[in-house]
Chain A
Amino acid sequence: MGVGIEVTNLNAWYGTNHTLQDINLHIPANHATALIGPSGCGKSTFVRCLNRMHETNPIARVTGGVKVGDVDIYADAKPVEIRRRIGMVFQRPNPFPTMSIYDNVASGLKLNGYRNRRVLDEIVEKSLRNSALWDEVKDDLRKKSGASLSGGQQQRLCIARALAVDPEVLLMDEPASALDPVSTSKIEDLIFELKSQYTIVIVTHNMQQAARVAEKTGFFLNGRLVEFDSTHKIFTNPSDKRTEDYITGRFG
């Protein structure tokens, strides 16, 4: 089961660029939360702060608190431990091209020294079933490389890879923006399925996508969280004028 995330006074910088300013919000457990906003508004930076990926860039800096479940990830833990508990799916599918499909899915567990073959087999199958890829690849698990799949399949493989370590939170940074409409709808169905078991945070450019998959939606603009509310409220009766302008397509 997933856990909730409590963000307090989060600030982030890229060099001198103050990309996130005083973000406060609560992301509920076992729901999908969408983050929308125009390009460069800080929504990607925000999810990258939730698993401490932001700081892998040497010029990046973060202050403030992020509590995932009971753990303040910036105070009580090392980045490596945090990232084992929080899965991430990137904008562009990035399977490991030199590994088979099986090894791609098992990579997170193998990395951490998990060697029980029988359990690995089970987890690989379960993860691929959960990411709706099993039927398409079950005959080529060890024969084909991760890079031989189509773009949409690659992205579902990346989701399976993230799910295999049974994360408490799944972060998705525009997971469908590089995909065609059919693959996109598969990914959306998947998010819909998965959100009962995992806490999902999804960054998206596509407002319909946010409306379809998420219970909660946050609107980011210029590094600030303008509004955070139920998806229904955001898309039908936003309280901030800027949110309304954005969702009605007046800018962005």
Chain B
Amino acid sequence: MSEIRTFQPQFQQQKPSEGQAYAPQPGGAPGPGGQMGDQSDSAIRAFLRARGNSALADGGFRALMVLCGFSIFGIVALIAIVLIYRSGLVWHNFGLRFFYTYDKDPATGQPLYWDPVNGHFSAVPFLYGTLVSSFLALLLAVPLAIGVAIFLTEMCPKMLRAPLAFLTELLAAIPSVIYGLWAVFILVPLLREHVNPLLSKGLGWTGLFTDDNPTGLGFVSAGIILAIMILPIISSLTREVMIAVPHSQREAVLALGATRWEMIRMGVLRNARIGIVGGVMLGLGRALGETMAVAMVIGNTAEIHRNLLANGASMASVIANEYAEATSDLHRSALTELGLALFIVTILVNALARLLVWAVTRGAPAQAH
């Protein structure tokens, strides 16, 4: 924008002198070309003069680009408006209660979390499913991702570095439905046949792992598949912030007699930690909103279980599963309200994450010099 502004005055200043140069000589031959117009370059000059000052085209271009730029705001605003508008019915009927309470069967006292046919709606089981599966994913993915990043930046032979980094980032490009398919065919049977019985035997006493689900679907399956999906994002960002740590920090620690691990812990991870937290939050943002793969393996039962091997549902998965078949306005509105909540949370998480990563890579550790 500033370039255009500074350019225009120069352009206008040139015009008078141009005019003088081409002005007909007093008493000379008529016509805008004057003497010079008779020379061999007249065709070019006439052509260029005929183009005018291009103000219209320039202005048009500028307006178009501004429109493109602001369309981002427009899109975000439109999404928000539609979500708010479409979820109005549930907001009107339940208010904030939608997010923290649920109906109970007056006869048995059993919770009725979500029963669209009979008009029971609550976000609680989906909030629970989303949080539990995302938290499991972070628990599994963060140590692995940091390990991958450490190996790639500090230990990997140069030859292997580029292919490995490329492969890790390729993981992020695989469509989530493919992850879902892989999970359904490989991961879920594996968990069902081998892992879940072991978890149940070893950790059953915690109450978190009770192998009473014959499907093999559930929170653990969803958490593992999410972990694989967010691994590349966390490890590539961790790698980025680790690379941003100046070499002098590594040398400072080494010169104190540090081993390789101590050097990485004190000289690299410590300096990069804010950025790593940012990377983890970015992974969390993706895990919260991930839809397809989760919908394929979480089991899609709107229930709350302490048992992580039980079926559940997440906010994203229930929208994907039910929206097309939702018949009542209230049902659609409830699903939209879940979408709105997801929209707000993921935007906040992502914004915070980007801010943290930016704080590190823009050169905060460089203060060290």
Report which A residues bind B (CB closer than 8 A): 51, 53, 56, 58, 80-85, 87-88, 90, 92-99, 107-108, 111-112, 146-147, 158, 161-162, 165, 178
**A84 contacts B251, CB within 8 Å?**
no
Q: Is B29 an interface residue (CB 8 A)?
A: no
Closest to B367 in A: A147
- Given known pairs A94-B248, A96-B271, the reply for A53 and B256 (CB within 8 Å) is no
Report the bound CA distance from A112 to B365 in whole Å: 24
Report the bound CA distance from A181 to B264 in whole Å: 35
Report the bound CA distance from A53 to B254 in whole Å: 8
Query: Closest 8 CB pairs between A and B?
Result: A84-B257, A88-B255, A94-B248, A83-B257, A108-B256, A147-B367, A94-B252, A97-B368
| In the complex, chain B residues 238-278 whose Cβ is within 8 Å of any chain A Cβ | 246, 248-249, 251-259, 262, 266-267, 270-271, 273
Report the bound CA distance from A146 to B248 in whole Å: 14
**B251 contacts A94, CB within 8 Å?**
yes
Report the bound CA distance from A146 to B267 in whole Å: 14
- Given known pairs A90-B248, A90-B251, A107-B266, the reply for A95 and B256 (CB within 8 Å) is no
Using C-beta atoms within 8 Å of the partner chain, give the interface range for chain B.
Answer: 20 to 34
Closest to B266 in A: A111
Interface centre among A58, A87, A108 (most CB of B within 10 A): A108
**A87 contacts B255, CB within 8 Å?**
yes
- Given known pairs A53-B251, A94-B368, the reply for A161 and B256 (CB within 8 Å) is yes
Q: Is B369 an interface residue (CB 8 A)?
A: yes
**B257 contacts A112, CB within 8 Å?**
yes
**A96 contacts B270, CB within 8 Å?**
yes
| In the complex, chain B residues 124-164 whose Cβ is within 8 Å of any chain A Cβ | 158
Chain B residues within an 8 Å CB radius of A95: 252, 368
**A96 contacts B255, CB within 8 Å?**
no
Closest to A59 in B: B158
| A101 nearest CB across to chain B (Å) | 14
- The 8 listed contacts between A and B (C-beta, < 8 Å) are A84-B256, A93-B368, A94-B252, A96-B266, A97-B368, A99-B270, A147-B368, A162-B256
- Given known pairs A92-B248, A97-B271, the reply for A83 and B369 (CB within 8 Å) is no
- Given known pairs A94-B369, A97-B368, the reply for A165 and B248 (CB within 8 Å) is no
Report the bound CA distance from A83 to B259 in whole Å: 10
Closest to B274 in A: A98
Closest to B252 in A: A94
Closest to A87 in B: B255
Chain A residues within an 8 Å CB radius of B266: 96, 107, 111
Chain A residues within an 8 Å CB radius of B267: 96
Q: Out of A53, A93, A99, A178, name the residue touching B255 (CB < 8 Å).
A: A53
Interface centre among A51, A53, A87, A94 (most CB of B within 10 A): A94
Chain B residues within an 8 Å CB radius of A98: 270-271, 273
| B49 nearest CB across to chain A (Å) | 58
Report the bound CA distance from A158 to B248 in whole Å: 12
| In the complex, chain B residues 267-309 whose Cβ is within 8 Å of any chain A Cβ | 267, 270-271, 273
**B256 contacts A92, CB within 8 Å?**
no
Closest to B364 in A: A97
- Given known pairs A96-B271, A107-B266, the reply for A83 and B255 (CB within 8 Å) is yes
Q: Out of B158, B256, B270, B368, name the residue touching A83 (CB < 8 Å).
A: B256
**B368 contacts A51, CB within 8 Å?**
no
